[in-house]
Every structure is written in structure tokens, then in C-alpha cells.
Amino acid sequence: MATVVYPAIVERAGDGFSVFFPDLPGLTTAGTTVNEAVLNAEDALTGHLLVSSEYGDELAHPSDILDLEHDPEVEEVARVLVRGEAPGKSVRLNITLDEGLVSAIDRVATNRSGFLAEAARVLLAQRRKLEAA
């Protein structure tokens, strides 16, 4: 995976905060605190990049955070740079797993590599949240 950085705007939203990406229309997330909202933005960005890659969508290049125009209708709390992981080229691995675990994976997945990659993404996101807490 390749690390990319997109600017995002954190705004007040009721009792919490929402985050949107000016370069990626429709990509939003939220949290009860600014920190939680920004952490959620990392997960949202990585998920968006993954899905966009799967569908072959072309992504806008990240703007310079200093070039973003201020919208008077948005109650900005912060402007942040959000790091995400864009899918890179696939790397072939040779791994060893317990045969029972392989059988369990095969019962629920049609693609072992895809299943293991998804499981790794979920676990990595959980660990990032724990480390940030």
C-alpha cells in the first residue's frame, strides 16, 4: 500500500464533529470529539481509496491545504491532513496457516488472499484506534 495525504475540514455538527474532504466529494465521517473524528477520517479515506481502486475510479490529486477556500457556511473547527493507504501492487507471499483455519476461511470466502487482506485491514484499523486512545 502507498501512503497518501488528503486535506480535510473538521466542522462542528450538533454535539459532535464531522469531517469532509474537499477533493473527494461525498466522503464524510464524524466523531464525538475532534480526535475521534480525525481518526475515523483515516479509516474512511483508506476505505474510499480501496473501493475506488476496485472500481477503477480515478482519484483527484490532493490539494494543498493552504489553497482551500473558506466556505462561510461551514463552522470550521480545524483543517487537517489525513493519511490514508492507497492500494499498491500486489505482492506474492508464501505463508503457513493451520489447516483448520484454512478450511474455515474456505467455507466463508471465495478468495483466500482477499479475505486475509480484508482481515488484516480491519485488525490494523482496530489497533490504530487502540494506540490513539
Quote the domain boundaries for residue 96. Answer: 90-133
Say whether both 82 and 116 belong to one domain: no
- How many structural domains does the chain have? 2
Residue pLDDT, tens place only, 10-49: 999 999 999 999 999 999 999 999 999 999 999 999 899 9
Task: Tell me the whole-structure pTM to 2 decimals.
Answer: 0.69
Say whether both 74 and 116 belong to one domain: no
Q: Cα angle vertex 117, ends 124, 133, to 5°?
A: 10
What is the domain-level CATH number for residue 82?
A: 3.30.160.250
Nearest residue to 74 via CA among 128, 20, 16: 20
Say whether both 51 and 27 belong to one domain: yes
What are the distances in angstroms from CA 56 to CA 36, 48, 53? 30, 12, 5
What's the CA gap between 103 and 61, in Å, rounded?
42
Encoded amino acid at 20, one letter:
F
Say whether both 81 and 44 belong to one domain: yes
Say whether both 95 and 84 belong to one domain: no
